[in-house]
Homo-oligomer: A and B are copies of this chain.
Amino acid sequence: MENVKVILWGLGSMGSGIATDIVTNKQGIEIVGAIGQNPAKIGKDLGEVLGLNRKLGVIISDKPEQVLANNKADIVLHSTQSFTKDVFPELALIVNSGKNVITIAEEMSAPQVETPDLADELNKLAKKSNVTILGTGINPGFVLDTLILTMTGACQIVNKIWASRVNDLSPFGPTVMKTQGVGTTVEEFHAGVKSGAIVGHIGFRQSIYMIAKSLGWKLDDIAETREPIITNVYRETPHVKVQPGMVAGCCHIAKGYKNGLEIITLEHPQQIHPELEGVKTGDYIVIEGTPTIKFTDEQEIPGGIGTMATAVNMIPQVINARAGLLSMPELPIISALMGDVRQLIKR
Contact = CB atoms under 8 A, between A and B. Distances in A.
Interface string A299-316: 101100110111011000
A152 interface: yes
A253 interface: no
A138 to B, nearest CB: 6
A295 to B, nearest CB: 5
Contacts of A143: 154
A294 interface: yes
A215 B27 CA distance: 12
Interface stretch (A119-127, A273-281, A332-340): A332-340
Given A146-B150, A150-B150, A309 B217 contact: no
A312 B157 CA distance: 11
Given A158-B336, A215-B338, A290-B305, A153 B313 contact: yes
Contacts of A147: 150-151
A289 interface: yes
Interface of A is mostly: mixed
A330 interface: yes
A292 B337 CA distance: 15
A218 interface: yes
Contacts of A224: none
A164 B330 CA distance: 29
Contact of A335 (B156, B215, B218, B302): B215
A59 interface: no
Contacts of A47: none
Nearest to A299: B294
Contacts of A332: 329-333
How many identical chains are in the complex? Answer: 2
B297 A291 contact: no
Contacts of A152: 335-336
A214 interface: yes
A305 B153 CA distance: 11
A86 interface: no
A156 B297 contact: no
Contact of A309 (B149, B153, B312, B343): B153
A344 interface: yes
A283 B295 CA distance: 9
A176 interface: no
A146 B153 contact: yes
Contacts of A293: 297, 299, 301
Interface in A2-27: 21, 25, 27
A215 to B, nearest CB: 4
Nearest to A298: B294
Nearest to A342: B216
Interface centre among A155, A290, A312 (most CB of B within 10 A): A155
Interface of A: 21, 25, 27, 138, 142-143, 146-147, 149-158, 214-218, 283, 289-299, 301-302, 305-306, 308-310, 312-313, 328-341, 343-344
17 contacts: A21-B156, A138-B154, A142-B154, A149-B335, A150-B150, A150-B335, A152-B335, A152-B336, A153-B310, A153-B336, A156-B336, A215-B337, A216-B343, A293-B297, A295-B296, A295-B297, A329-B335
